[in-house]
Amino acid sequence: MKIEREIFARPAAAFDVARRRADFPILRERVHGKPLVYLDNAATTQKPRAVIDAEARYYACDNANVHRGVHALSQTATDSYEAARSKVRRFINARAVEEIVFVRGTTEAINLVAQSYARPLLAPGDEILLSAMEHHSNIVPWQLACGQTGGSLKVIPISDAGELDMEAFAALLGPRTRLVAVTQLSNALGTITPIERIIAAAHARGVPVLVDGAQAVSHLAVDVSALDCDFYAFSGHKIFGPTGIGVLYGKAALLDAMPPYQGGGDMIRSVTFEKTEYNDLPYKFEAGTPNIAGAIGLGAALDYVSSVGMEAIAAHERDLLAYATAEASRIPGLRIVGTAKDKASILSFVLQGVHAHDVGTILDQQGVAIRAGHHCAMPVMQRFGIAGTARASFALYNTRDEVDALIAGIDQARRMFL
């Protein structure tokens, strides 16, 4: 009976983290003679055996170019590549596979939308609305498009807790707003943004919304149909897949009306020196030989996440973040940066008298990998008046014991600098 009560009291206990850890070969590595405690998941996640095997199997057994050969291997490779696209569609609940464009990552997805959607549309005085907690990859592509067109950026401010100022958002959403581009989960603060309300408010004014899902996709269940977002971008490597592969979801009507981003093979139907007819969606946006192995690896990663279950993952990570937040708050001189009510997976902090870089080095010597710096979100750091933070970020394979190692390491850094 006691056991049963504990399970009900702590739903995360039902999640078999030891079994999940066994799926990730790298977690058996040692660093500086200590077991690896990998808490830099917001930078990139580790890969389960299933993903490593899927890529290896492709190269060992099926390697061929896609969409062109008549031979058997080319057909197998094409089938596997397109099967991966179907898995992505299912995973984010898009309506059609035509809406799933394979790209290199979130950065390329946003650049694609900035150049093929925003740039042709923007006139001098038009506005792109972002938030103050965006990653550089959701700022600079829009700056480039604005520089090319005379458009300008407007920025939704954030509170001291790191929450979006929704009143300011409503006021900024104006007659010249052509697009809203916001993160679903801040990589620097861990804030989950009220993306449903943002989309509803923007759509009420006929403004489309791009969601940067780079951080969110491995922590929150994503349903682009329910969200009704117009574009959704994410990277494979942040959801246990390979680097160099990512996804741009776009509503078919929008993608269809957009000019190609890059020209080359595969994105054409016919070419003469006078005129080129472009291929159908999504191939119009996939010029050149794609990252076939990467797409197949991403498909395997999404299968893996689905088999574990996003609800179970989210519950486990909620428990870890709550535990880490409570433990870290007890360290004298530690201040958590990003204290939004709705948060996931990220603990960003500064330690009085100890620079984040020094915290990072001292933790590394204990085998604990975290990120120190501005996290490619320099405007966020400016907002909080700091040069950078130390950031621990959790994934499904992390444990309370690893949080304890983190806390012990931070406390060691504090004592060293007393």
Q: For residues 313 and 362, which CB has a smaller minimum distance to other proteins in the complex?
A: 362
Distance separating alpha carbons of residues 108 and 101, to the nearest angstrom: 11
Rounded to a whole number of angstroms, the minimum distance from the CB of residue 197 to other proteins is: 32
Q: What's the min distance (Å) between Cβ of 345 and other proteins?
A: 22
Strand duo 177-183 + 209-212: pairing: parallel
From CA 83, how far away is CA 88, in angstroms rounded?
A: 9
- Alpha-carbon span 305 to 297, nearest angstrom: 12
376 is catalytic: yes
Which residues fall within 8 angstroms of residue 352, CB to CB, at 6 or more apart?
Answer: 332, 333, 334, 335
Cα Rg for the chain, rounded, in angstroms? 22
Burial of 63 (0-12, 13-18, 19+ CB in 10 A): middle
Site for other proteins, rule CB under 8 A: 32, 353-358, 361-362, 365, 372-374, 378, 381, 387-388, 412, 416-417
Nearer to other proteins, 100 or 381 (CB): 381
For residues 133 and 156, the answer to whether their CB atoms sit within 8 Å is no
Q: Which is nearer to other proteins, 122 or 356 (CB)?
A: 356
262 CB-near residues (< 8 Å, 6+ apart)? 285, 287, 288
| Alpha carbon distance 403, 418 (integer Å) | 23
Q: Cβ 361 to other proteins, closest distance in Å?
A: 6
Q: Which is nearer to other proteins, 88 or 369 (CB)?
A: 369
User: What's the min distance (Å) between Cβ of 333 and other proteins?
Assistant: 14
DSSP H helices, 58-105, are 72-92
User: Measured between alpha carbons, how far is 389 from 41 in angstroms, rounded to an integer?
Assistant: 15
- 225, 169, 235, 157: which is closest to 202 by C-alpha? 169
Q: How far is the CB of 131 from other proteins (least distance, A)?
A: 20
Residue position matching structure tokens 């094409």 = 78
Closest by CA to 193, choosing from 232, 222, 166, is 166
Other Cβ atoms less than 10 A from the Cβ of 155: the count is 17
Find the shortest distance in angstroms from Cβ 115 to other proteins.
25
Q: Which of 61, 146, 229, 376 is catalytic?
A: 376
Q: Looking at beta carbons only, is 175 or 385 nearer to other proteins?
A: 385
Tell me whether residue 11 or residue 373 sits nearer to other proteins (CB atom): 373
Candidates 304, 280, 284; CA nearest to 48 is 304
Catalytic site positions = 376
